[in-house]
Each structure stands twice: as C-alpha cells, then as structure tokens.
Amino acid sequence: MPVPVDDLKLLLQSTRPEAKLVLVAGSYVVAGSAELATKALRGALPVVTREELLERVGGWPVTDKDLDEAAATLSSAVDNLGG
C-alpha cells in the first residue's frame, strides 16, 4: 500500500510524543505513544517513527525529493509485510 508523502509531512510536523506513522484498517495515521495504546489503534502496523524518517532522509532540511524516495522505500516495506 503506497505511503503518501503528505502523511510523511504530517509525521515530521507532529508534536506528539514518540510520533509514529502506522497503518490501521487500510489507512495511515500519525499517532503518539499514548494514542497507540488505545483500542482504536490496537493492532496497527508501525511504519516509521519521526526519528527514523529523519535518519532516512539525512536530517533537516527535508526536501520533497527526500520524502518521495522515503515514501517509495516505505511502501515496498509495507507491501512486504502484507500491509
């Protein structure tokens, strides 16, 4: 399932503690550690944390090209995990 670049941008902009992009019920969601403990997100497939994404793209500043490349790599990983 393709990872939208806009969702990666939301992840980078998130102020949630320990923000992660997760896949749940066919949708990507940016959630913090407290939200991941809720019933609504139980069983969500973790895709990438904010810190991992920054590491993948080489830190700030992050370009659209960086995010396009990260989205393609993450999409392949999700597909391989059955997402």
Mind listing the pLDDT tens digit for each residue in 17-74? 999 999 999 999 999 999 999 999 988 999 999 999 999 999 999 999 999 999 999 9
- What is residue 81's DSSP assignment? T
Residue 34 to residue 15: CA distance in whole angstroms: 13
Mind listing the pLDDT tens digit for each residue in 12-24? 999 999 999 999 9
Provide the 10 A C-beta neighbour count for residue 22: 20
Laid out side by side, the sheet with 45-49 consists of 27-31, 20-24, 45-49
